[in-house]
Amino acid sequence: MTQDTAADVIIIGGGIAGLSAAYMLAKEGKSVILMERGETCGSKNMTGGRIYIHSLKQLLGTSAVAQAPLERLIVKERMSIMSTTGTTMVEYTDVHATEEDFQSYSILRSVFDAWLADKIEELGGMILTGVQVEQLVEQDGRIAGVQISGEEILADTVIAADGIHSFIAQQAGLKNDLDTDSVGLGVKEIIQLSEEKINERFSLRQGEGAAHLFLGVTQGLSGGGFIYTNRSSISLGIVVDPQELAGQEKTIYELLQEFKTRDAVFPLIQQGKTVEYSAHLVNEAGLMSVPRTLCREGLLVIGDAAGFVINMGTTIRGMDLAVWSGINAAKAILTASSAREINEMYMKYTNETIIPVMERYKRYPKLLKNPRLFKEYPTAANDMMHAVFSVDSSMVPAESIKEAWKIAKKSIGIKHLALDSWEVLRSL
């Protein structure tokens, strides 16, 4: 930090990426100012669900993670494939979840982010909330700080962690405006329910959690539903393609209400009280959404602002990658001796940790855009199950299985079955 600068680093955005960078930098003695437009860190965060904690362990250490306000250890994975004729559910319980390195927890970001912000302040970092950054300050071609209420605040490095919209990355010329073809529209409710009822309805013991995904609940639109169990609440919601939503009559709120009343959903949430409702955009393009350049001299882009989200259908990873990106940015600042070297080190660390994972799943966005996945396949799956388990005086089980195969061929077609199977294999 020089005489002209207010801090070594200014971080724009108090989500989990910005907080991770701030925590690591403050812990190593760097002067940090984190600016968040919400009233508290996490108050405007609408992400609901789970976090894989491998990167949190790297950031905080195993003992600190154990003390963090995470909700429940996910031990139960469920997927329900629904149609008008029935529901087919697959359930897996991981009996070794407490021993594994890839543990995940349900999380309420308003609680967790506020906790991490407090830790940063304890380390000497400055958290400014209710602050809207107006624009970047540029001096001699490099980013030198930010402007707030007409006042310039300077720093050696600025980190953009301002989420999926990231007007900071756009202003810096690193990112274009959002393409509606690359995002999903999500709505979420937090439903208050007692710990005892949650444990009973999901067959869980104390501290255990469940993640339940739903296919075939979006009226044929690309998307799906989810439920995550918290300590004394449930995070429930749906995500749909906004372009497809615009072409039909029902609103996303109406789709959410229909989802909540489905036979496989209502018994899980009945008698619960909705205490929060929110909507947000979800990055669905995977590697394609990552800008070609994540740096300018004096500026690094991290987290959702950098497009670090992977939707694999069965799991969505964003928070763990956001933490990694915050770690990578902090490490680069701590180890490099110039703005140019900071950029080089940040990209090096990112290419070693995040990009290989995103490269591995780069075909998934195309796979999940297949319209048959959300209508024909759920219908065929439940019709097939009906055929397999329906045995009357004129049909024996062997003929039931044969009938199920006929249903699949009729509902989807041999050509599409072959093409879709090949696409799945390529994605894997």
405 pLDDT band (50/70/90 cuts)? low
11: domain CATH number is 3.50.50.60
Q: Is residue 272 domain-resident?
A: no
For the chain, the domain total comes to 2
Of the ranges 47-61, 94-108, 236-250, which one carries the lowest mean pLDDT score?
94-108
pLDDT at 3 over 60: no
292 and 356 assigned to the same domain: yes
Would the pLDDT of 32 be above 90? yes
Mean pLDDT, all residues of the chain: 89
Q: Beta partners for 148? A: 151
pLDDT at 423: 66
Residue 253: phi and psi, rounded to 5, are: -65, -40
- Residue-range definition of the domain harbouring residue 401: 375-427
Higher pLDDT, 342 or 401: 342
- Residue 291, pLDDT above cutoff 70: yes
Same domain, 29 and 119: yes
The answer to whether residue 258 sits within a structural domain is no
Residue 400 backbone dihedrals phi, psi, to 5 degrees: -65, -45
Taking alpha carbons only, the member of 379, 370, 365, 281 closest to residue 81 is 379
Lowest mean pLDDT among 152-166, 293-307, 355-369: 355-369
* DSSP state letters, 299-366: EEE-GGGGT--EE-SS-EE-HHHHHHHHHHHHHHHHH-SSHHHHHHHHHHHHHHHTHHHHHHTTTHHH
- Residue 205 confidence (pLDDT) above 80: yes
Same domain for 400 and 342, yes or no, is: no
pLDDT digits (tens, 9 = 90+) for 159-169: 999 999 899 99
Please check whether residue 237 is in contact with residue 187, taking contact to mean a CB–CB distance below 8 angstroms.
yes
426, pLDDT greater than 90: no
Q: What is the pLDDT of residue 404?
A: 66
User: How large is the average pLDDT for residues 21-26?
Assistant: 98
pLDDT on residue 88: 93
pLDDT of residue 143: 96
Is the pLDDT reported for residue 318 higher than 80? Answer: yes
pLDDT digits (tens, 9 = 90+) for 231-288: 999 999 999 999 999 888 899 999 999 999 999 999 999 999 999 898 888 888 889 8
Residues 132 and 39 in one domain: yes
Percentage of the chain modeled with pLDDT above 70: 90
Q: For residues 208-225, give the mean pLDDT.
A: 93
Q: Would residue 317 count as lying in a domain?
A: yes
Task: Determine, yes or no, domain membership for 241.
Answer: no
Backbone angles phi, psi at 272, to 5 degrees: -85, 160
CA-based nearest residue to 322, from 13, 7, 9, 8: 13
Q: Answer for the pair 59, 20: CB distance below 8 angstroms, yes or no.
A: yes
Q: What is the DSSP string of 310-324?
A: EE-SS-EE-HHHHHH
Listed residues 361, 385, 415: the one ending a domain: 361
| For residues 335-361, average pLDDT | 95
User: What pTM value is reported for the model?
Assistant: 0.90
Residue 307 lies in a domain: yes
Is the domain of 168 the same as that of 292?
yes
Task: Let me know whether 338 and 416 are in one domain.
Answer: no
Q: Are residues 140 and 32 both part of a single domain? A: yes
In a domain, 394, yes or no: yes
- The answer to whether residues 390 and 294 belong to one domain is no
pLDDT category at 85 given cuts 50, 70, 90 is: confident
Say if residue 17 is in the same domain as residue 139.
yes
What confidence category does residue 413 fall into, taking pLDDT thresholds of 50, 70 and 90?
confident
Going by C-beta distance under 8 Å and a sequence separation of 6 or more, which residues neighbour residue 418? none
C-alpha closest to that of 358 among 386, 321, 328: 321
Flag whether 163 is in a domain.
yes
pLDDT band, residue 314 (cuts 50/70/90): confident
Query: From the CA atom positions of the chain, what is the Rg in Å?
Result: 23
- Within this chain, do residues 40 and 167 fall inside the same structural domain, yes or no? yes
Choosing from 334, 361, 388, the residue where a domain stops is 361
Query: Residue 178's pLDDT band (boundaries 50, 70, 90)?
Result: confident
Cα–Cα distance for residue pair 259/251, rounded to 1 Å: 13
Instruction: Classify residue 254: in a domain, yes or no.
Output: no
Where among 330, 361, 392 does a domain terminate? 361
Q: pLDDT band at 422, cuts 50/70/90?
A: low
Residues 22-47 have a mean pLDDT of 89
Are residues 154 and 36 both part of a single domain?
A: yes
Per-residue pLDDT band for 47 (boundaries 50, 70, 90) equals low
Residues 138 and 27 occupy one common structural domain: yes
